[in-house]
Amino acid sequence: MELRISEKAKRQLRNIYTYYSENSIQYAEHFLEDFYNKIESLIEFPKMYGIIPQLEKHNIRKLLFKDYRILYQIDKNNELIKIVAILYSKQRLQI
């Protein structure tokens, strides 16, 4: 199974990194390392996290990570996991 990050999610991740690096580069680097470790776990267990009821028609699942929600989709053939958004947990849910 392949894992991809959408351009939108990449922008969001860069913004998160920039925000954390303003206070601590070390924390920002640690955050990125933890983030990539967490999403790589999806390769073995892609259906571990549930589908979001409000986004069920898009088959979007939610992985909670620190103060963020990582939204992702699994393609119909179960060959690709796509990270579609990374949202602050208190942010309104939209993609």
For the chain, which residues make up each domain, given as ranges? 2-88
pTM for this prediction: 0.89
The model's confidence at residue 54, banded by pLDDT at 50, 70 and 90, is confident
In tens, the pLDDT along 32-46 reads 999 999 999 999 999
Write the Ramachandran bin of 85: left for phi over 0, alpha for psi from -120 to 50, otherwise beta.
Answer: beta
What does the angle CA 34 – CA 5 – CA 40 come to, to the nearest 5 degrees? 40
Tell me yes or no: is domain 2-88 CATH 3.30.2310.20.
yes
Q: How far apart are CA 73 and CA 24, in angstroms?
A: 32
| Cβ–Cβ < 8 Å for 85, 12 | yes
| Token pair for 88 | 């602050």
